[in-house]
Structure formats: structure tokens, C-alpha cells
């Protein structure tokens, strides 16, 4: 009995864990929670897509081309969102297509963020001349409009989804470098870093253990935002014929294939774009929530 009481008392007094505190603030933002729910659905579709989809994504039902969605005349429950010009089920292609966008987001953010954080840390700790060189190189990359640079990079590497991801990662990377460097520079002057250095921490320890964890908040927000940018850019490249190639059911590529049918069959154009919009919107909602929850200035005390 006593034990139970004291345990309870301890629970009340203990400072909530970081994750818990984060969730407390995140949950306040209704939009962010909706975004999270949609994102989880999106992730589930990305992983289990082919098992959830009612039809195969590439199976062509030649007898049923351009069947409208079920609520229109001529539509049927067999193809809930209709079929495309080759008789493939729209809904199945959209569901299976989720994994390409998800994959693009994960890979691009991982590559761009890890590269950018590393270079940003180096720039922040390096002597001034090296810092200047690194930042000039980033300025050069940022001088090109991102989509144009990605387009030319893909033209060099050859059009495919993997090359599109590499190109987008290269284009997004300077943002992480700038962000990391800026927070490193402001953190480096603080007393706790000096005391760690006096205590004999090596450069590596200072960089990765002492300073980096305190720079992560803005980087996490940036990661959420570039997840959606990556999806948009990959879809744009697919739309221009420089991303995933047909018959891959990538959403941007599907739009490109459907373009000539826009005035005859609105559904082949509408649904892939809607899928992109909803996904990107959900991630941006989450990003806003993350920013509010992680930025101490905005927290209500």
C-alpha cells in the first residue's frame, strides 16, 4: 500500500519525459493531429498497398477502358474510382502509388538531412576560410531554381525515380547546411560548450554529443517541410517525364499519362493530383504542429 502510494507520488512529481511533453503541445494543434492521422494512413498504404488494393496496379482490363467512378452513370462498384485509358483500376494504382511518394520522401530527407547536418556541423566548427568556401558552394547551388537544377541533373543521370531522388536530395541539402551552421554558431558561444571543452571533450564529442542535440529542433521541422517538397518535386519531375517512368503508378507520372484525356475523363486527372495534394497538405499540417511544439518561444507557459 505504502509502496503504491509513493510510486504514485513519484509519478506526479516526475518531470514528464521529452516525448510526452512534445505530445502535450503537439496535441493542442488540431490540424497537426489530423495531419498525423492522414500521414499514418498514407504510411500504411505505402507499406501494405499491393495487399490492400482491390485490383493489380498494372492489370489492363481492355474491355473496361475509361470507366467513370461508381457514382457517375456507367460506373460500377468494381472500379470505385473508375479506370484509366488502358483499363487499369484508378483506386488500385493510387494505393500502390503511395509507396513511391513515401519512399521518395524518406530517402530524400534522410540523404539531404544527414549530408546537410554533417556539412553544416563542419562549417560551424571549421576555421573561417573553410567555412567561407563551404557557404559559397551552398550559395552557388541555391542560385539555381531547385526544379531546374533537378531537371538538368536528371537529364545527366538519365530519367528514373532513383535519379530524381538523388537530384532532389542534392538540391534540398544546402537548406540543412545553412540551418545547422546557423544554430551551431549560436550554440558554440554558450557556456555549456565552453565548460565541455574545458573538461577535455574532443572535437568529435563537442560536435556530435554536446552541440548537435541542441540544434535538432529547427532541423526536425525542416525535415518535415522538405518531406513534402520532395514529394512535390518528384511528382513534378514525373509529370515532365523525367521521374518515374510508365507504367510505374507514381502519382506525377500518372498525371502526365492522363493529360491528353483531361477534357474527356476528368477522373484520370483529378484523383492522382488530389492524392498528392492531400498527402503534402497532411505533412505540412504536421510540420506546423511540430514547429509550434518544438519552438520554446511559442509554447504557452
Partner 1 sequence: MLKYTLSRLLTFIPTFIGVTLISFSFIRALPGDPIVVMAGERGLSDERYAELATQYGFDQPIYMQFWDYLTGVLQGDLGTSFVTKRPVWDEFFTLFPATLELSICAMIFAIALGLPAGIIAAVNRGKFLDRALMSTALVGYSMPIFWWALLLIIVFSGNLGWTPVSGRIDLLYYFPNATGFMLIDSVASGQSGAFTSAVRHLLLPTIVLGTIPLAVIARQTRSAMLEVLGEDYIRTARAKGMSPGRINGVHALRNAMIPVITVIGLSVGTLLAGAILTETIFSWPGIGKWMVDSIFRRDYPVVQGGLLLIAVMVMIVNLTVDMLYGVINPKIRKR
Q: Residue 247: is the preceding peptide bond cis (ω within 30°)?
A: yes
| 26 lies in the binding site for partner 1 (CB under 8 A) | no
Of 148, 192, 208, 209, which lies in the binding site for partner 1, with binding defined by CB under 8 A? 148
Strand partners, 76: 79
Q: State the binding string over 212-231 for partner 1 (x if CB under 8 A, else -).
A: ----------------x---
Stretch that binds partner 1, among 43-51, 62-70, 194-202, 238-246 (CB under 8 A): 238-246
Half-sphere exposure of 146 (CA within 13 A, CB side): 21
| Cβ–Cβ under 8 Å, residues 266 and 72 | no
Question: Where do runs of H (alpha helix) occur along the chain?
Answer: 2-13, 18-28, 30-52, 90-125, 128-143, 146-157, 161-188, 191-198, 203-205, 212-239, 251-258, 266-294
| 193 lies in the binding site for partner 1 (CB under 8 A) | no
DSSP 3-state assignment of 201?
coil
Of 110, 152, 194, 295, which lies in the binding site for partner 1, with binding defined by CB under 8 A? 152
The CA distance from 190 to 25, in Å, is 27
CB of 196 to partner 1, least distance (A): 28
| Count of chain residues binding partner 1 (CB under 8 A) | 43
* Cβ nearer to partner 1, comparing 21 with 139: 139
- Apex 30 CA angle, 24 and 31, nearest 5: 125
106: Cβ–Cβ under 8 A, 6 or more apart, which residues? 227
| Cβ–Cβ under 8 Å, residues 25 and 299 | yes
| 161 lies in the binding site for partner 1 (CB under 8 A) | no
* Cβ nearer to partner 1, comparing 91 with 212: 91
| 38 lies in the binding site for partner 1 (CB under 8 A) | no
CA nearest to 150, candidates 104, 102, 98, 99: 104
Query: Which residues 240-299 are close enough to bind partner 1 by CB under 8 A?
Result: 240-241, 252, 255, 259, 262-263, 266, 269-270, 272-274, 276-277, 280-281, 284-285, 288
Of 4, 12, 156, 203, which lies in the binding site for partner 1, with binding defined by CB under 8 A? 156
Kindly list the residues in this chain that would bind partner 1 in the complex (CB under 8 A).
31, 136-137, 139-140, 142-148, 151-153, 155-156, 158, 228, 232, 235-236, 239-241, 252, 255, 259, 262-263, 266, 269-270, 272-274, 276-277, 280-281, 284-285, 288
Amino acid at each position: 500500500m505504502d509502496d503504491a502510494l509513493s510510486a504514485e507520488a513519484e509519478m506526479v512529481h516526475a518531470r514528464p519525459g521529452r516525448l510526452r511533453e512534445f505530445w502535450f503541445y503537439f496535441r493542442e494543434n488540431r490540424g497537426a493531429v489530423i495531419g498525423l492521422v492522414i500521414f499514418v494512413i498514407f504510411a500504411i498504404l505505402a507499406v501494405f498497398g499491393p495487399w490492400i488494393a482491390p485490383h493489380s496496379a498494372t492489370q489492363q482490363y481492355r474491355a473496361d477502358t475509361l470507366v467513370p467512378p461508381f457514382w457517375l452513370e456507367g460506373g460500377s462498384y468494381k472500379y470505385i474510382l473508375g479506370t484509366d485509358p488502358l483499363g487499369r483500376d484508378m483506386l488500385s494504382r493510387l494505393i500502390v502509388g503511395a509507396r513511391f511518394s513515401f519512399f521518395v520522401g524518406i530517402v530524400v530527407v534522410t540523404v539531404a538531412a544527414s549530408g546537410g547536418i554533417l556539412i553544416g556541423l563542419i562549417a560551424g566548427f571549421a576555421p573561417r576560410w573553410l567555412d567561407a568556401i563551404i557557404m559559397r558552394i551552398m550559395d552557388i547551388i541555391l542560385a539555381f531554381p531547385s526544379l531546374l537544377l533537378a531537371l538538368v541533373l536528371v537529364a545527366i543521370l538519365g530519367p528514373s525515380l532513383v535519379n530524381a531522388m538523388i537530384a532532389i536530395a542534392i538540391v534540398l541539402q544546402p537548406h540543412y547546411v545553412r540551418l545547422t551552421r546557423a544554430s551551431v554558431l549560436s550554440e558554440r558561444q554558450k557556456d555549456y560548450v565552453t565548460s565541455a571543452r574545458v573538461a577535455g571533450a574532443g572535437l568529435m564529442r563537442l560536435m556530435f554529443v554536446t552541440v548537435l542535440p541542441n540544434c535538432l529542433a529547427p532541423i526536425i521541422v525542416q525535415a518535415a517541410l522538405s518531406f513534402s517538397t520532395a514529394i512535390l518535386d518528384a511528382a513534378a519531375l514525373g509529370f515532365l517525364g523525367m521521374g518515374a517512368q510508365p507504367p510505374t503508378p507514381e502519382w506525377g507520372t500518372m498525371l502526365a499519362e492522363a493529360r491528353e484525356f483531361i477534357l474527356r475523363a476528368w477522373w484520370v486527372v483529378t484523383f492522382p493530383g488530389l492524392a498528392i495534394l492531400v498527402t503534402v497538405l497532411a505533412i505540412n499540417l504536421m510540420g506546423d504542429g511540430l514547429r509550434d511544439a518544438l519552438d520554446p518561444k511559442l509554447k504557452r507557459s
